[in-house]
Amino acid sequence: MAKAIWKYIRKDRQAAAGCVILGAWIFLAVLVPFFGPYSYTDQNAAIQNQGISILHWFGTDKFGRDIFARVWYGAGISLVIGLASALINGCIGAAYGAVSGYAGKRTDLILMRAADIIASVPSMLYVILITLVLGAGVVSMILGLCISGWIETARIARGEILHLKESDFALAARLGGASPFRILIRHLLPNASGPILVNVVFLIPQAVFTEAFLSFLGVGLAAPAASLGTIIREARTQMLLYPSQMICPLVVLCVMLLGLNMLGSALERRFGRPEGGG
Amino acid sequence: MARYILKRILTGIIALFVLAAVTFFLVRLIPGSPFQSAATSSSVVEAVEREYGLDRPLFEQFLSYMGKLLRGNFGISYSNPGVSVTEIIWRTWPVTASLGTAALVVSLLAGTGLGTLLAVSKSRGIQRIISGGAMLASGIPGFALAVILLLVFSVRLNWFPSSGLSSPLHYVLPVTALSLYPAAVITRLTGNALRAELQKEYVLFARAKGLGETRTLWTHAMKHACRPVLGYIGPASAFLLTGSFVVESIFTIPGIGREFVNSITGRDYTLILGLTVFMGTVVIVVNLIADLLGAWLDPEMRRAYRES
Amino acid sequence: MSILDVQNLRVRYHEGKADGDVLKGVSFSVEKGETVGIIGESGSGKSTAMLAVMGLLDAKARVLSDHILVGGGKPCPGKNIAMVFQDSLNCLNPSVKIGRQVAETVRARRKCSRKEAALRTEELLDTVGIRSPKLRMEQYPFELSGGMRQRVVIAIALACEPQIILADEPTTALDAAVQAQIILLLKRIVRKTDTSLLLVSHDPGVTAALCSRVYVMRKGQMVESGTAEDVFYFPKEEYTKRLLGDRIGKGYKAGEEPCGDPLVCVRNVTKEYDTKEGIYDISLDIGEGETVAIAGESGSGKTTLARVITGLLEADAGHLYYRGQELDGSLRKTLGRGKFQMVFQDPYGSLNPVLTAGQALDESLRPIVRGEPALRRRKVEAMLALVGLSAKDAGKYPSEFSGGERQRIGLARALIAKPDLLVCDEALSALDTRTREQILELLKTVREKERLSCLFISHDLHAVRRISSRVGVMYGGRLAELGRTKDICSDPWHPYTRLLLDAVPKADPVRAGRFRGAVAEERGTEKRGIEKEGRGCPFAANCTYAMKCCAEEMPGQYSFGDRQVSCFLYSEKHSGRRAKGYTMTSQI
């Protein structure tokens, strides 16, 4: 599977572009905060609201903090939130969907009804409530994203398992006396991994987007922690005077989302199920 | 069919109950009192809390809240005593609803139109432009777009007003900001579904029996291709509703989204609670309608439920 | 002048590649009122040629030809030329009513009003033998049976009022009995409307039954052509002989006679399904080392029976016995799994795509041989050798094998668990003629070597004859007839068995010309008031011998020696008393 993905990425230009963007993102998010000359929290009254210059590539904000350092620190936080929540959601969703699909009958009905009910409320509302209760922070953000984020993965996993469960090779394995767990792990899940993987990849940009959105509203991360959303929010008060303070993190955010979406849809073309094909 | 509708409505009601309960307890768990500020003494806070019934056991509060909810009473705003949540909803909802409906219609029209073009176009150039554009558009968060639109078109160029929602011209920027992402998603959905549909054998057969391309497209392929789009209306309306939080704040539109953001920053318990429950209800109802519409379009499903 | 004249047709995919040519210059023609056949293996380019003539190949294909003429002019789909596709479920739009799908064709052709089109639609549906067309017009494709849908497709082709109809495998997806009806229908239409017909098929039997002239196609070229008699009786090419090979000239060799105690006894087993394919009151013995076949069309419950016996499904009622002991959940547990193994129909779906052949076999071996990886590997290699593959193949994934090779792996996977009973569920149906032959031979040798009991499920009576000693014929979830294969195939007693045997057209133009397929087709079930879902015999509605009791009562199993039949024709109560010592013979 991993080999197939790698081979495909090398062949598909869109997937390659997405990977390059993602790679550059990780590279800068690690490099700039650790090795850059400026810290994301250092305030310097002497250089407030500077424009783009050689010293400060993205300029400085109203406290004289270097925006370039802040943006990449924030990008790192966004990535951590995106990856962590996608991973957790992917695992919960795959397990839940697999169990539901394999068990079938009443169990399936009850589990999927429960999922329907959780999913019928916009996930944004959950995240807002959780951050209000637990206080703003990375952990409560991830927790909030994991309340209903796994449901789509679960539905996809369930659909795949339901379909694969009836396949001849699964029947052959049952005749051979394999345990349900072994059938699930060895025969069904590996064959369902393509669509599940595609879905999990798409969860990353969704989580990054939600985080930025909420931080922008002021309910996401709290100062001094910086994410792309909070940086954009801080710049908003003076966006008419210093638009570059806002534009720079916005562009970085958009490019990141674009890269992730490109990777996702390239993988979808190869490993996903065709639209409407169940 | 009737059984299906009943089942879906029942699920919707349970979902509403769960939503109300979860929201209620979560809101009560939020640390800090809405009446706490540096100026007021603790005895005053206690007095006010007693006044609002916040000193009673949580479960009792919950029961009385649910009782009021059933009668359509969302309670009274904490930070704005004298104004009921219902009143606020009545005042703000029509604004958001009109904005949201406009955005939904725009994204549906643009999305299905571009998606169809994407699927039927023979030119690789057009295909690349549309699919690339959709990809790009789905990567731009609504709030980023809103800010950029505001900066460029109302601040720099001064073509469109920057706040309020009093004339059709006021709608242009917020609707664009709201509908770009759903339009991109619908374009991709329609394009993929239609392309898959056009490769099916019944389309080939329709051509073989001498139907023109347009007829084949409209009477045959479209019927199936619009199903995933219908399925997306529910998520799209949830997206538009949450999108209105920022878009209304940025364009200073007096809608429910801005009210919600204000209620969060103002820690207005009943308002957060009331608005969450209300918005949840809206999304659940829209989902229900979209589902029923989808089921009605599918003859196989219609028959299955007619028989059972 | 020819109605259809195609000269030097070439079709190329992937411009510039050496092997991109799918058609390498084929020419054929059809005269007015003539029925011409094109036969060839799957992948020989027949369907591509038809779509190229229609001008319906997608943009990636490059079509070149000296000329393609229909009635002297250009081919214009829906006007002078129409096509019937193989799969009626896919080629009718699932969410548009039948009536509208026919009527829109009428309107596209005639430019008439809706009302006229509706009338014409009714007329057309009547022509293709659909009873109560008004009712059918309001239905959706999935509400109709396969045969009925194919009739609708033919009606749509007729609505085009073409000079020629191209029929691409029009009966392949259908059961034998329905296939016979469609063949008769096509014959009648050609005669009545004087439309020419070009029939594309891989089945020499169908071609022989319909066509007066035949082209043989192979790898994008015409290798032979001539009158049906010439081609079928005196084939010149090796390829043609091979195509016809399995149908003529090969007699059947009965399998091993039953011996010893029965390995598995099935007694009055019933399993109802919410859909169809249920089985009712089935009793059957499978002896040690014996091969029993179950024949019947799809939906007759064969697969359900197989799954109940193997324990994949639990029976609702009735008993199963294994070597005399009742086979319930606890016995299955103590026996350990793997005593009953299956070989499946679809060579593509029966192997897990993420496991190599070796891993797949190993998975099957795991419950029996624990630990000892070296021993397991040796066993896997030995088993691969037994089914005619090499040890090297153990490392390959299913996608690297051909259909026949996959079926060998499927067989190996079943055999490696040392089963007592091997169930082959349509194991040969998805394979082409030559591979089918090889797998059948393999199955026979393996069966003898391992002294296996075998339950062989197939709709193909030819294969059944060659491998089984006894056969049960199933219809509508019930056992219509059970007995020695030799007896049943040469002298059927149950009307359905008769139909099943007759419905398979022979690759013999003279005999096939008289082909009538003893079918109660046009008799319409509604007219006689025999409802399909009634309490009576499931076959009553289609049976030429149906009596009043058939619709009202379920016939019991009537035994005569080693033969059982479930039909009132053999019951004393309904067909009169018999003298003592009377030897029962076929009543039909």
Neighbours of C64 (CB within 10 A): 12
Q: Chain A within 8 Å of B287 (Cβ-Cβ)? A: yes
Q: Chain C within 8 Å of A175 (Cβ-Cβ)? A: yes
What torsion do the CA atoms of C261, C267, C271, C277 make, to the nearest 10 degrees? 70
Most confident of C195-199, C247-251, C534-538: C195-199
Q: Chain A within 8 Å of B169 (Cβ-Cβ)? A: no
pLDDT in tens, A73-86: 888 888 888 999 99
Of C96, C108, C143, the CB nearest to B210: C108
- Measured between CA atoms, the residue of chain A closest to residue B132 is A262
Chain A contacts of C364, Cβ < 8 Å? Answer: 172-173, 176
Distances in Å between the alpha carbon of A265 and those of A5, B132, B133, B134, C170? 13, 11, 14, 11, 39
Chain C contacts of A186, Cβ < 8 Å? Answer: 355, 363
Distance linking the first and last C-alpha atoms of chain B: 8
Spatial separation of the C-alpha atoms in residues B250 and C27, rounded to whole Å: 71
Spatial separation of the C-alpha atoms in residues A42 and A53, rounded to whole Å: 18
For chain A, the domain total comes to 1
Phi then psi for residue C258, to 5 deg, are -65, 145
Report the residue of C91, C114, C156 to disrupt the B interface, i.e. the one with the largest count of B CBs within 10 Å: C91
Interchain contact, B19 vs A120, CB within 8 Å: yes
- Measured between CA atoms, the residue of chain B closest to residue C161 is B209
Report the residue of B58, B96, B156, B245 to disrupt the A interface, i.e. the one with the largest count of A CBs within 10 Å: B245
- pLDDT value for B41: 63
Interchain contact, C83 vs B201, CB within 8 Å: no
Tokens, residue C455: 């339950």
Contact B288, B31 (CB under 8 A): no
Q: Tell me how close the Cα of B199 comes to any Cα of chain C, in angstroms.
A: 9
Q: Identify the band that residue C143 occupies on the pLDDT scale cut at 50, 70 and 90.
A: confident
Interchain contact, B210 vs C77, CB within 8 Å: yes
User: A62 Cβ partners below 8 Å, 6+ apart?
Assistant: A48, A49, A234, A237, A238
Instruction: Tell me the domains of chain C and their CATH numbers.
Output: 2-245 (3.40.50.300), 262-490 (3.40.50.300), 498-575 (no CATH)
Report the residue of A25, A204, A217, A238 to disrupt the B interface, i.e. the one with the largest count of B CBs within 10 Å: A217
- pLDDT value for A89: 92
Chain C contacts of B298, Cβ < 8 Å? Answer: 95
Residue B130 lies in a domain: yes
Interchain contact, B151 vs A274, CB within 8 Å: no
- pLDDT value for C260: 58
User: B304 Cβ partners below 8 Å, 6+ apart?
Assistant: none
Contact C93, B215 (CB under 8 A): no
Residue B37 lies in a domain: no
Mark B57-93 as b/e (b = at least 16 C-beta within 10 Å). Answer: eeeebbeebeeebeeeebbbbbebeeebbeebbeebb
Residue A43 lies in a domain: no
Of A113, A253, A261, the CB nearest to B144: A253
Of C83, C104, C142, the CB nearest to B208: C83
Distance linking the first and last C-alpha atoms of chain C: 48
- pLDDT value for B306: 53
What integer best gives the mean pLDDT of chain C? 79
Residue A101 lies in a domain: yes
Tokens, residue C499: 């139909």
pLDDT at C460 over 90: no
Instruction: Find the range with the poorest average confidence among A100-114, A222-236, C75-89, C347-361.
Output: A222-236
Tokens, residue B217: 């497209």
Residue of A150, A216, A93, A88 whose CA lies nearest to B242: A216
Contact C282, C305 (CB under 8 A): yes
Phi then psi for residue C196, to 5 deg, are -80, 155
Q: Chain A within 8 Å of C364 (Cβ-Cβ)? A: yes
Contact C539, C475 (CB under 8 A): yes
Interchain contact, A169 vs C351, CB within 8 Å: yes
Neighbours of chain B (3+ CB pairs under 8 A): A, C
Q: How much is the average pLDDT of C492-511?
A: 75
Residue of C498, C499, C494 whose CA lies nearest to C569: C494
- pLDDT value for A90: 92
pLDDT in tens, C275-324: 556 788 888 888 888 888 898 877 778 888 888 888 888 888 888 888 87
Contact B48, B35 (CB under 8 A): yes
Contact C342, C302 (CB under 8 A): no
Spatial separation of the C-alpha atoms in residues C297 and C292, rounded to whole Å: 17
Residue B164 lies in a domain: yes
- pLDDT value for C248: 42
Contact C476, C539 (CB under 8 A): yes
Residue B204 identity (one-letter amino acid): L
The label of the residue with tokens 């999305």 reads B111
User: A178 Cβ partners below 8 Å, 6+ apart?
Assistant: A186, A187, C363, C366, C367
DSSP B54: T
Interchain contact, B135 vs A261, CB within 8 Å: yes
- pLDDT value for C300: 79
Spatial separation of the C-alpha atoms in residues C45 and B196, rounded to whole Å: 24
Neighbours of chain A (3+ CB pairs under 8 A): B, C
Chain B contacts of C105, Cβ < 8 Å? Answer: 209-211
Instruction: Find the range with the poorest average confidence among A78-87, A145-154, C195-204, C526-535.
Output: C526-535
- pLDDT value for C526: 38
DSSP A273: P
Provide the residue range defining the domain that includes A244.
Answer: 2-36+59-271
- pLDDT value for C250: 44
Q: Identify the band that residue C247 occupies on the pLDDT scale cut at 50, 70 and 90.
A: very low
Residue C316 identity (one-letter amino acid): D
Of C341, C344, C355, the CB nearest to A168: C344
More confident residue, C169 or C430: C169
Residue A53 lies in a domain: no
**CATH number where B223 lies:** 1.10.3720.10
- Measured between CA atoms, the residue of chain B closest to residue C156 is B209
The label of the residue with tokens 């080392």 reads C289
Neighbours of B5 (CB within 10 A): 15
DSSP C211-270: -SEEEEEETTEEEEEEEHHHHHHS--SHHHHHHHHTTSS------PPP-SSEEEEEEEEE
- pLDDT value for C520: 44
Instruction: Find the range with the poorest average confidence among A72-76, C176-180, C234-238.
Output: C176-180
Contact C238, C250 (CB under 8 A): no
Interchain contact, B300 vs C142, CB within 8 Å: yes
- pLDDT value for C581: 65
Spatial separation of the C-alpha atoms in residues C459 and A148, rounded to whole Å: 49
Chain B contacts of A118, Cβ < 8 Å? Answer: 18
Cis check: omega of the bond before B235, within 30 degrees of 0: no
pLDDT at C11 over 60: yes
User: C189 Cβ partners below 8 Å, 6+ apart?
Assistant: C127, C128, C154, C158, C195, C197
Q: What is the pLDDT along chain B (308 residues), one digit of tens a residue?
A: 677 778 888 888 888 888 888 888 887 777 665 555 555 566 666 666 666 666 677 777 788 777 877 777 777 776 666 778 888 888 888 888 989 999 999 999 999 999 888 888 878 888 888 888 888 888 888 888 888 888 888 777 878 777 777 777 778 888 888 899 999 989 988 888 888 888 888 888 888 887 777 777 877 777 777 778 888 888 888 888 888 888 888 888 888 888 888 888 777 777 888 888 888 888 888 888 888 887 777 766 666 555 44
Spatial separation of the C-alpha atoms in residues C316 and B179, rounded to whole Å: 56
Of C340, C346, C354, the CB nearest to A168: C346
Q: Tell me how close the Cα of B195 comes to any Cα of chain A, in angstroms.
A: 9
Of C83, C90, C109, the CB nearest to B200: C90
Put simply, the chain B residues between 23 and 42 with a CB less than 8 A from any chain A CB are 23, 26-27, 29-31
Q: Chain A within 8 Å of C418 (Cβ-Cβ)? A: no
Q: How much is the average pLDDT of C145-161?
A: 86
Residue A46 lies in a domain: no
Spatial separation of the C-alpha atoms in residues C551 and C442, rounded to whole Å: 44
Residue A240 lies in a domain: yes
DSSP C521: G
Interchain contact, B264 vs A216, CB within 8 Å: no
- pLDDT value for B54: 66
Residue of A89, A117, A75, A104 whose CA lies nearest to A212: A75
Alpha helices in A149-242 (DSSP H): 151-165, 168-175, 180-182, 189-217, 228-236
User: B78 Cβ partners below 8 Å, 6+ apart?
Assistant: B34, B35, B52, B267, B268, B269, B270, B271
Phi then psi for residue C577, to 5 deg, are -70, 150
Phi then psi for residue C560, to 5 deg, are -135, 100
pLDDT in tens, A177-211: 778 888 888 888 888 888 888 889 889 988 888 88
**CATH number where A82 lies:** 1.10.3720.10
Q: Chain C within 8 Å of A132 (Cβ-Cβ)? A: no
Phi then psi for residue A168, to 5 deg, are -60, -35
Provide the residue range defining the domain that includes B178.
Answer: 85-307
For chain B, the domain total comes to 1
Report the residue of C51, C53, C93, C110 to disrupt the B interface, i.e. the one with the largest count of B CBs within 10 Å: C93
- pLDDT value for C251: 42
pLDDT at A216 over 50: yes
Q: Identify the band that residue C529 occupies on the pLDDT scale cut at 50, 70 and 90.
A: very low
Of C311, C338, C350, the CB nearest to A169: C350
Residue A54 lies in a domain: no
H or E stretch at A276: none
Put simply, the chain C residues between 1 and 30 with a CB less than 8 A from any chain A CB are none
Residue B41 lies in a domain: no
